[in-house]
């Protein structure tokens, strides 16, 4: 039986911080990412692909606001914006990955599933928004927007500017997880839990409803990986390995981490929120619940022996 991997694509897999966000740019990035995914397919993995949507969903929200201001078009809530982003990002990945497969004489269906993820309405995250979405602003721009809209902004830990932050509740259940696993184990490639999934809750027994939030993509990916019994979780980012003392003269890259070591480094503040911190927590979740390894690495290092940082149980 082929191994099953969940691959969580970082935001730079489709849109990089120095780009405008045109479809041509996103298609070119998705094509490059797909070439890297091919390495896993050639190593006999079945794949479930997840992806971020921070820049894209932020742009959808900006377009909503402009449409309302200029034309009176009703603004869509955040859960609907996430669903929008799942559709168009999934389409881009599907198309570019299909191009790569056909160029390499590989025949697999690629299926995007609009994925709802159950959260709690009373999750404490709603009182403390931390999840960054949308473009980067200067301090002055963010202060002006906050005064006008009551939105909350936070400084990027890597000094790239200020971004709007929204609530990021804990994912509890991936809806349709059985179907996601079934399709993937049949050899088809599934794109699911885009942007962390569409956040929903039970407004009453047997009645789901969307809620204004963005779920952390890496944590939702880890939950999905554990719930579909994946053999490995790959969390892709824009650095080759996890580092201690990141971006300082004392920076040290790590080849391997146990979950006990990872927890200790988190406690010491080694991994910034909005950056490596959520990825480490996601890795811990998957390893703890599955006993299998997580690999955190750069997209171009995917499928390379001893590439990235391996997070293990012991």
Tell me the three state secondary structure of residue 80. Answer: helix
Annotated catalytic residue, options 10, 46, 54, 217: 217
Annotated catalytic residue, options 164, 279, 292, 298: 279
Q: Is there a catalytic annotation at residue 217?
A: yes
Q: Is there a catalytic annotation at residue 70?
A: no
243 backbone dihedrals φ, ψ, rounded to 5°:
-125, 145
Please give the DSSP secondary-structure letter assigned to residue 300: G
| Helices 23-42/78-103 angle, 10° precision | 60
CA distance 203 to 213: 15
Best CA proximity match to 129, nearest among 94, 78, 91: 78
Please give the DSSP secondary-structure letter assigned to residue 194: G
Annotated catalytic residue, options 46, 53, 131, 177: 131
Tell me the three state secondary structure of residue 34. Answer: helix
Q: Is there a catalytic annotation at residue 232?
A: no
293-305 CB burial, b ≥16 within 10 A, e <16 = bbbbbbbbbbbee
Tell me the three state secondary structure of residue 22. Answer: coil
Q: Hey, what are 15's tokens?
A: 């849109």
Q: Is there a catalytic annotation at residue 11?
A: yes
Annotated catalytic residue, options 10, 11, 194, 196: 11
- Positions marked catalytic: 11-12, 131, 217, 279
């Amino acid at each position: 039986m082929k191994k099953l991997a969940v691959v969580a694509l970082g935001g730079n897999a489709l849109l990089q911080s120095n780009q405008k966000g045109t479809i041509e740019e996103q298609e070119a990035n998705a094509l490059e990412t797909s070439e890297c995914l091919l390495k896993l397919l050639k190593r006999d993995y079945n794949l479930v692909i997840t992806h971020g949507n921070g820049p894209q969903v932020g742009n959808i929200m900006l377009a909503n606001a402009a449409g309302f201001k200029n034309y009176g078009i009703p603004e869509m809530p955040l859960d609907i914006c996430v669903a929008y982003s799942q559709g168009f990002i999934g389409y881009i990945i599907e198309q570019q990955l299909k191009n790569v497969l056909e160029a390499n004489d590989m025949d697999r269906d690629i299926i995007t599933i609009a994925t709802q993820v159950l959260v709690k309405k009373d999750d404490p995250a709603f009182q403390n928004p931390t999840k960054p979405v949308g473009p980067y602003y200067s301090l002055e721009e963010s202060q002006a927007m906050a005064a006008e809209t009551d939105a909350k902004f936070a400084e990027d830990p890597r000094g790239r500017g200020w971004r709007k932050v929204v609530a990021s509740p804990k994912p509890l259940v991936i809806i349709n997880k059985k179907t996601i696993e079934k399709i993937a184990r049949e050899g088809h490639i599934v794109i699911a839990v885009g942007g962390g999934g569409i956040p929903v809750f039970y407004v009453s027994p047997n009645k789901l409803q969307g809620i204004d939030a963005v779920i952390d993509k890496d944590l939702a990916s880890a939950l999905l990986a554990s719930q579909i019994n994946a053999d490995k979780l790959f969390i892709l980012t824009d650095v080759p390995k996890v580092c201690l003392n990141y971006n300082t003269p004392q920076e040290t890259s790590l080849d391997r981490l146990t979950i006990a070591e990872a927890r200790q480094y988190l406690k010491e503040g080694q991994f910034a929120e909005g950056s490596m911190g959520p990825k480490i927590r996601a890795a811990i979740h998957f390893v703890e619940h599955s006993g299998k390894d997580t690999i955190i690495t750069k997209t171009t290092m995917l499928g390379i022996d001893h590439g990235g940082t391996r997070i293990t149980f012991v």
